[in-house]
Amino acid sequence: MDDINPATGARIDTYETDTAADIEAALARAADAANDWRDRPIRERERHVAAAGDVLRENTQTYAELITAEMGKPITQARAEIEKCAAVCDHYATHASAYLQPDGHPSPAGADVQTVYEPLGPVLAVMPWNFPFWQVFRFAAPALAAGNVALLKHASNVPGCAEAIADVFEAAGLPAGVFQTLLVGADAVEDVIRDDRVRAATLTGSEPAGSAVAATAGETLKKTVLELGGSDPFVVLDDADVAAAAASGAWARTLNSGQSCIAAKRFIVHTDVYEAFRDAFVSEIDSLTVGDPTREETDVGPQASAAGLDTTHEQVRASVDAGATVVTGGQPSDREGAFYEPTVLTDVPAGCPADTEELFGPVAAVFEVPDEAAAIAKANATAFGLGASVWTADRDRGRRVARAMDAGCAYVNQPVTSDPRVPFGGIGRSGYGRELAGAGIRAFVNRKTLWVE
């Protein structure tokens, strides 16, 4: 695996991929470790998860610099990612025991009936490059606290992050085999899922990758959780605070250089405030600092790869050819590296890429709608269903509109986010299952009915 810095095109390092023998050894270690780890007291497992959070905090700058080098995230956002990983460790170190308390049920006299939560065993996690620490830790912290063991197949362009994460858990004192990294390509995933020692799988990534994992797991009757792409609507109603919505929307569209599944992507604006929002939004986009992701003032860094940049530009060109108007941006940046200009498209016609596809770069599509009903209809005119955001001065109205939008999570007067305290996941082409909170830790457990007469 060649590790390439997308901001410069320079090779960082080259990693040897694991052989078939390496994979077999890892699976054997995972199976052995699972038998011991599941029997450890949950308070002990919580302490190890808490220790992982401490390791992250002690090495925040080192890990942030690694993220920035491997996939181009601006350094301030990379530090925030590490801090969020530490927070999810704190959350499950504090709440895992409560989340996994047995649930009682009505029962006949003399009987005690409960649902108890027991770990499944080794779980394969297939993770993406865009949040190379966070995506892993939001799976690993609850899964490990619940008594499972983890095998990480990370994206091939962040091998350094993959190995660093394994080092975090080793430094946190986890026994050998409880968390392991497999440096393998996508072609190895199917065989790992089919292995009898692997009991479940989770994937965050593209729809094709999710479909492939789900198909293999389905054939072998194994539990899966999938968090896939999104084309999240950002609805601005006629009574919204336009300035606040524009500022938040610009941040929500360009966070991580636009490479986020839950980024605001389709801006759906009531006609009464359309021009005011468009102008304020474009002003916010144009004010962003694009450049070297290692500099503190940078807001938007490079795309994670040249291929990703090319895909984004092809989608923009196809949308413009179909009739969309470029208000700002619309081209790769005239600089070294995989940089794309923050872009705003208006007059977006139905059926073009900016209308129907996930734009995984700093490109916003802005739509004008005549009323609230049309805004809801446009928000739901997608096969995706990850997140949604609505902006209004009326909280009750916001609640009503949010309830009407087809998404796994909906936010009023706030951009979509993932928070350890609340369940996270999507519907439709955005996947299924839930991560985080109690739902997340119970995703990979056996919900066993225990009837004692």
Note the pLDDT of residue 35: 96
Domain span(s) for CATH 3.40.605.10 in the chain: 2-229+427-452
Roughly how many angstroms between the first and final C-alpha of the chain, as a whole number? Answer: 57
Mean pLDDT score, 365-369: 98
Percent of the chain with pLDDT over 90: 100
List, for residues 214-263, the tens digit of each pLDDT value: 999 999 999 999 999 999 999 999 999 999 999 999 999 999 999 999 99
Q: What does the pLDDT read at residue 172?
A: 98
Percent of the chain scoring above 70 in pLDDT: 100
pLDDT of residue 273: 98
Q: At what angle do helices 75-99 and 134-145 cross, to 10 degrees?
A: 20
Q: Are 244 and 398 in contact (CB under 8 A)?
A: no
Phi/psi at 149 (5° precision): -115, 160
Kindly give the pairing relationship between strand 325-328 and strand 103-105: unpaired
Rounded to an integer, what distance in angstroms lies between the CA atom of residue 68 and that of residue 55?
19
Neighbours of 281 (CB within 10 A): 26
Predicted pLDDT of residue 387: 98
In the set 81, 227, 357, 358, the catalytic residue is 227
Residue 228 pLDDT: 98
CA distance 329 to 326: 7
Q: Which helix (H) or strand (E) holds 123?
A: strand 122-126
DSSP classification of residue 16: P
Is 352 considered catalytic here? Answer: no
Four-residue CA torsion sign, 185, 189, 190, 194: positive
**Directed axis angle between helix 395-404 and helix 372-379, to 10°?**
40
Where exactly does CATH 3.40.309.10 map onto the chain?
A: 232-381+387-412
Beta strands in 264-386 (DSSP E): 264-270, 325-328, 343-346, 363-369
Residue 196 CB contacts under 8 Å (≥ 6 apart), including other chains: none
Pick among 3.40.605.10, 3.20.20.80, 3.10.20.30, 3.40.190.10: CATH of 2-229+427-452: 3.40.605.10
**Mean per-residue pLDDT for 187-200?**
98
Q: Of all helices (H) and strands (E), which one includes residue 154?
A: none
Question: Cβ(90)–Cβ(419) under 8 Å?
Answer: no
The whole-angstrom separation of Cα 351 and Cα 425 is 26
**Which residue is it, tokens 């023998």?**
21
Number of Cβ within 10 Å of residue 356's Cβ equals 16
* Three-state secondary-structure class, residue 135: helix
Among residues 85, 89, 261, 352, the one annotated as catalytic is 261
Cβ(154)–Cβ(3) below 8 Å: no
Residue 105 binned pLDDT confidence (cut-offs 50, 70, 90): very high
Structure confidence at residue 325 as a pLDDT band (50, 70, 90):
very high
Residue closest to 226 by CA, chosen among 203, 208, 207, 206? 203
HSE toward the beta carbon, residue 97, CA cutoff 13 A: 11
pLDDT at 377: 98
In tens, the pLDDT along 118-129 reads 999 999 999 999
Residue 306 has a pLDDT of 96
pTM above 0.95, yes or no: yes
Q: What was the pLDDT predicted at 241? A: 98
Rg from Cα positions in the chain: 22
Active site residue 227: yes
CATH assignment of 232-381+387-412, among 3.30.470.10, 3.40.309.10, 2.120.10.80, 3.40.640.10: 3.40.309.10
Query: Mean pLDDT over all residues of the chain?
Result: 98
Q: Tell me: the pLDDT tens digits for 329-341? A: 999 999 999 999 9
Residue-wise pLDDT for 144-175, tens only, equals 999 999 999 999 999 999 999 999 999 999 99
Q: What is the pLDDT of residue 171?
A: 98
